[in-house]
Structure 1
Amino acid sequence: MLHELKEMSTMAPIHPQDVAEAAAAASVDPSDPAENFFGYAVMGVPFESGHYLAFRHFPASSIGPGYRAVWLREPDGVWTIFADAPPDVSCMRYVGTGITHSVTGPVELHWLSPTSARIEVPDAVDWRIDMGNTPATRVAGITARLIPAPLWQSDAFLAVMGAMMGPMLRAGRMRLAGRVPNGQTYRMRPLRVWALADSAATVFGRDAGRPRGLPEQEHLADLWLPQRGLFVADVVARYPSTAGRGDVTDQVRTVSTTLPGSRWGS
């Protein structure tokens, strides 16, 4: 709401850095019985090398501390999630059965300008993202912010939204509601969208090349990863199937927490 008032009163553009910094002071709805998170994300970027990178930063969480995570898919299809919070309170809680390796350690984000940032996992990933608006991302964001709150809780409506937004954003298939690999149901509410105008990365010291769609779009259960780099903000991620569950330990299915030494080689 504050962002909307700023835009209406000053007509000043809202940049990715603005919403990212505002998210640091956000909180989740304590009345929501479902596990839920608030923050922003790079939904994913495919590279010509066959690598795929995604980023999540949820400063507000209903189940533990906020966290940052980098998702890495290598050309052979092996997935690793690097997170700065334990697996039971971060992404692995929901997608662990689809992931080969999990690493808990530093994940760093540095803003280089209001529309550029550098994401780093020491000794593993060094990734630059440059974001910009397009007519399609503007329409997507304005449309999302005009949708009444109750509709964001409708799986049928979210199915239609995802089916429309994927082609409009040239991102391939997109689902805003569904089921994650660990079995929980999810609903996503992104209110702001930017396209990645450019991106470059090194993975374990190797250049990933230029952004380019994968030959076949990647997905983890119903989470379809876009074929084009997208940055989304003012995101609420909810897991309705967890509502009312007092003991959450049975929700966590993870894998090994270390990478084999050879994967860190030059």
Structure 2
Amino acid sequence: MSPRYLSDKIELEHALPPGDEERFNGFGIMGLPFSSGHILALRRFVASSVGSGYTSVWHRNPDSEWAFYANEAPWHSCTRYFGKQAAQAIVTPIAIKWLDDLSFGVSIEGADLYWSVTVEATPATRVMNMIGNMLPDSAWKNETILNMMSKVAGVALGVQKVGLSGFVPNGQHFIANLKTIWAVKESRASIAGVDFGEPAPLKEQANLADFWISQKGILAFGQAYFELFNPGKHPAATTRAAQGSAA
């Protein structure tokens, strides 16, 4: 099954994983650093328990400022969890277009942001997918097993630290189930005409609390689970400047 096939399949099904947590189902590029110091990440969640499915692009510039673009309101997208470290949360149309079974483009015309990605299966991704397919559903919620998988994946995939569970900047606990993965083979990106250069690991790996940005691009299909929002425990900030009520 190609990533394009899986994308088409989940877009038709819109299936939400069972559970009592805040839940999401979809795919994304976990994080991709470039030689210029820019970072991009992609989330396409076809189903969400806190609103409509949505698409989001995360961008960190070389000055370490994060901007989160999404086609849904900030409180119903990624800044629900990462807003305390976001300089901006921008609502705008985002387009994903598959070019063939292994390549797609992402565009945000309002930000003049264009991103192309080609992925491939590697010996390491095949092994990780085989392990993932062998695990029972209960294992994907077992933090001891997830911590072991994080260490194995970090070494096998050459992405350094991997966080499959932990806490996000806004304080909620999370679990990420990356069940089927591919490695990014090639990628180009630009914003406002500024080219990001070639994909390349950063001197210092970036993170958003316990969520680590992989030093090499990984396209993953799976689910994400977050602790239910508790106003007495979790800030409702969707950007660093918005520390008050939810947007």
TM over 0.5, yes or no?
Answer: yes
Alignment TM-score, normalising by the size of structure 1: 0.86
1:242 aligns with 2:232: no
8 Å Cα contact 1:102-1:256 kept in structure 2:
no
- Give the unaligned 5+ runs of structure 2: 242-247
8 Å Cα contact 2:133-2:179 kept in structure 1:
yes
Q: Within 5 Å, give how 1:157-236 maps onto structure 2.
A: 157-233=145-221, 235-236=222-223
Give the paired residue count: 239
- Which whole-Å CA distance do the structure 2 matches of 1:26 and 1:143 have between them? 25
1:85 counterpart SS class: coil
In the alignment, which residue of structure 2 is the partner of 1:46?
33
8 Å Cα contact 2:40-2:60 kept in structure 1:
yes
Which amino acid is 1:45 matched to? L
- Give the unaligned 5+ runs of structure 1: 1-13, 258-266
2:31 counterpart SS class: strand
2:9 to 22, 33, 37: 22
Return the offset for 1:57: 0.3
1:94 aligns with 2:76: no
Distance change in 2, residues 1:207/1:161 (3 Å): same
Return the offset for 1:250: 6.0
In the alignment, which residue of structure 1 is the partner of 2:138?
150
2:66 to 70, 79, 100: 79
Return the offset for 1:249: 11
- Which whole-Å CA distance do the structure 2 matches of 1:182 and 1:206 have between them? 31
- Which whole-Å CA distance do the structure 2 matches of 1:93 and 1:33 have between them? 17
Return the offset for 1:63: 1.1
The share of aligned pairs that are identical, in percent, is: 32
Which amino acid is 1:179 matched to? F
1:94 counterpart SS class: helix
Alignment TM-score, normalising by the size of structure 2: 0.92
In the alignment, which residue of structure 2 is the partner of 1:128?
116
Which amino acid is 1:33 matched to? D
1:161 counterpart SS class: helix
Return the offset for 1:163: 1.0
Structure 1's consecutive aligned runs of 4 or more residues displaced over 4 angstroms after TM superposition are 247-251
Return the offset for 1:204: 2.0
1:117 counterpart SS class: strand
1:242 counterpart SS class: coil
2:237 to 221, 233, 253: 253
8 Å Cα contact 2:44-2:55 kept in structure 1:
yes
Alpha-carbon deviations, 1:213-236, whole Å to 9, x = none? 111000000000000011001x11
1:201 counterpart SS class: strand
- Which whole-Å CA distance do the structure 2 matches of 1:95 and 1:81 have between them? 9
In the alignment, which residue of structure 1 is the partner of 2:244?
none
Q: CA RMSD in A?
A: 1.8
2:96 counterpart SS class: strand
- Which whole-Å CA distance do the structure 2 matches of 1:84 and 1:145 have between them? 32
8 Å Cα contact 1:93-1:182 kept in structure 2:
yes
Which amino acid is 1:174 matched to? V
